[in-house]
Amino acid sequence: MELKLGILVNEGPYTHQASDTAYHFTKAALEKGHEIFRVFFYHDGVNNGTRFTVPPQDDRNLQKAWSELAAKAKLDLVVCIAAAQRRGILDTGEAKRHGKDSDNLAPGFRISGLGQLVEAGIVADRLVTFGD
């Protein structure tokens, strides 16, 4: 039975295991034929969406992994606007609006509001949460 899944990521990429687990769960679900309606990054999870992440060469690069998976599987990666702004993560429009000289949202991610999370909870068969 194929499921339509919503994914909620609440932890940063290098804080806890939650981001890694969310990524691997999403990838495995896609490989099994399930549909991922949306991946929503909230709280510290928004840190998965910064293009300024530079992990050591021998460490995993979750931002790059999410961006590549999004491109391959046409995933909707949504970063919560309020949580992102608090943590200095901005797309081009928000950077300009706030007088910043640069944006740092990674490829494949987009910024939006909590309505996107609510919609995922309504439309998806299951909303799977990773992290507190």
Give the count of beta carbons closer than 10 Å to the beta carbon of residue 74: 9
| Domain residue extents for the chain | 4-52+59-108+117-130
Residues with active-site annotation? 80
CATH topology for 4-52+59-108+117-130 is Hypothetical Protein Ychn; Chain: A, (3.40.1260)
pLDDT in tens, 43-75: 999 999 999 999 998 999 999 999 999 999 999
Question: Are the C-beta atoms of residues 23 and 69 closer than 8 Å to each other?
Answer: yes
List of the chain residues with pLDDT < 50 = none
pTM recorded for the entire structure: 0.96
pLDDT at position 9 is 98
Closest CA to 20 of 73, 59, 71, 75: 59
